[in-house]
Amino acid sequence: MTSVLASRTHSAQSSRYIAPDVARGLALLGIALANIPTAWAFAQNADYASDFGGVYGTGTWLENLAVVFHTMFVHVRGLPMFTTLLGFGVGLITLSLWRRGFPVKKARFMLWRRYLLLGAFGVAHLVLLFFGDIIVQYSLTALILIAMISFRDRTLMIIACVLLGLTIAYSMVMSVVALYFPEFMVMDGSIIGLGATESYLEYVATNGMFLGVTLAGMPMTAVALLSVMIIGFVWARQGVLADVASHLTLLRAWVAVAGVVVLLVGLPWGLAAIGVLPPAWELPLSLLNTGVGMLTGPGILALIALIFRGTEEQITPATRAFVALGRRSMSGYILQSVLFLLITQPFTLNWGPTAGILGQMGIALVVWFITLMWALAWDLLDWPGPVEWAHRRLAYGREGLPATYRPKQLSA
C-alpha cells in the first residue's frame, strides 16, 4: 500500500497550474446558466423550452439558438466538470499529505474530517440559501472516494467505468421509457414549486424539508458523481494536468468523447426542443443527457487543460479573474446563491420567472460577472475566499498542516 502511494510523489507540483482554476471559474458560469431556469426561476406559462428559461409565442431565431446552446453546452456540463475537479482536488490533497509523511489511515482521517466539514457547509447553504445545493452531495460522495485512496489507478478506473456504465445504462432505459411510454413520465424535468414561497422563513422551512429529499436520492446520485470524481482523482495522482505534454493522447480522447456527446445528444435535444426534430424526442434526449452528459466533465476539463497550460507565474490579465474565481470557487458558488436569492424570489425582486430564456441568461451572466469581479478584487488584495478560509481553519486548525507529520502533533 505504501509503495502505491510513494509512486505518486512524482506528480507533486512545484508550481500551481492554472487550468483547474480556470475550469472552476468557467464551471460556475455553466452552473449559473443551468440553475436559474431549472431551480431559481422556473418559466411560468412559457409556450416551449420551459426547462431553459422559456420562450413565449413563436420564438425568434435568437431565442431558438439560445435553446440549442443550452442543450449543447449548459445542462449536465458544468456539474460533471466541477465533480471531476473535486476528485482532482482530493487527489492533490492526498498527495500533499503523503509528502508530509502522513500514514494512510491518518491521511484518510484528515480527508474525512475535511469533507465532513464541507458537508456541514453544504447543509447550511441548502437550508439557508439554495435547495438545489450540490455541496452536500459532493461531500458525501467524496467520503466514499476517500475510502479508496490506497487503491491502484487501474482498480479505480475499472470502478469508474462500471459506475459510468451503470449511469449511462439507466439514462438509456429511462429515455426509452419516455419515448414509448410517455404517460409514465413526469413531463417536466425541472425542480418546481420550491421557490414559490412568500417569505424567507417559509423559504427556509421548505428548503429544510428538501434536505431529506437530497439525502434520499444520494445512492443514485453518488453512482453518477463518483464515476467522474474518481477520474479526477486519478488524473491528480498521475500528474495529467501538470504535465499535459505527456498526456496529450488521453486528453484529446476525452475532448473527442465530450464532442460526440455534445453533437449527438445535445444538438438533437435542442432541435427537438425548438420543433425542428419531433418534439416527442425532447424528454427522452433530456433523460439520455443526464447519463451520457457525465462524460463531458473530464472532456471539458481536458479541453481547458490543452488551452491553458501555463503556471501561476504565467497568469495574464485576461485569465487572472478566472483563476481568482476558481481559487475561491466555493465562496463564489455561495455568493451566486445569495445574489440569485435576492433577484429571483417572490419575497425579493421576483425577476426571472417571466423573463424568457434570453432574460434569464442575462441575469445568470450578470450574477456570474459580479462573482468574477468580486474574486478579482479579493485576489488583488491577496485575500482567500472567506468560505475557503473558514473551511481550512476548521479542518486543519490555526497552525494548518505541519510540514512533516508527527504523531503527537495530531494525537488530539
Burial, 27: exposed, middle or buried (Cβ in 10 Å; 0-12, 13-18, 19+)? buried
User: Grid cell 470524481 — which residue?
Assistant: 229
Q: What is the pLDDT of residue 408?
A: 62
Q: What is the pLDDT of residue 116?
A: 97
Distance between CA atoms of 394 and 412, rounded to whole angstroms?
14
Q: What is the pLDDT of residue 409?
A: 52
Distance between CA atoms of 167 and 292, rounded to whole angstroms?
8
In contact, 231 and 160? CB cutoff 8 Å: yes
Q: What is the pLDDT of residue 10?
A: 42
Strands of 271-404, DSSP E? none
Please report how many Cα atoms fall inside a 13 Å half-sphere around the Cα of residue 294, on the Cβ side.
Answer: 29
pTM for this structure? 0.91
Q: What is the pLDDT of residue 392?
A: 93
Q: What is the pLDDT of residue 9?
A: 46
Q: How many CB atoms lie within 10 A of CB 398?
A: 5
Q: What is the pLDDT of residue 17?
A: 82
Burial, 199: exposed, middle or buried (Cβ in 10 Å; 0-12, 13-18, 19+)? exposed
Overall size of the chain counted in residues: 412
Distance between CA atoms of 24 and 36, rounded to whole angstroms?
18
Q: Which helix (H) or strand (E) holds 378?
A: helix 356-380
Backbone dihedral angles phi then psi of residue 48, each to the nearest 5 degrees: -165, 175
Per DSSP, the three-state class of 357 is helix
How does pLDDT run along the chain (412 residues), one tens digit per residue?
Answer: 444 444 444 444 446 788 999 999 999 999 999 999 999 999 988 999 999 999 999 999 999 999 999 999 999 999 999 999 999 999 999 999 999 999 999 999 999 999 999 999 999 999 999 999 999 999 999 999 999 999 999 999 999 999 999 999 999 999 999 999 887 775 544 444 455 688 999 999 999 988 888 888 888 899 999 999 999 999 999 999 989 999 999 999 999 999 999 999 999 999 999 999 999 999 999 999 999 999 999 999 999 999 998 776 677 877 899 999 999 999 999 999 999 999 999 999 999 999 999 999 999 999 999 999 999 999 999 999 999 999 999 999 888 888 888 776 544 4
Distance between CA atoms of 412 and 409, rounded to whole angstroms?
8
As given in the structure block, the three cell numbers for residue 303 are 479541453
Q: 272-308 in b/e burial notation, b at 16+ Cβ within 10 A? A: bbbeebeeebbbbbbbbbbbbbbbbbbbbbbbbbbeb
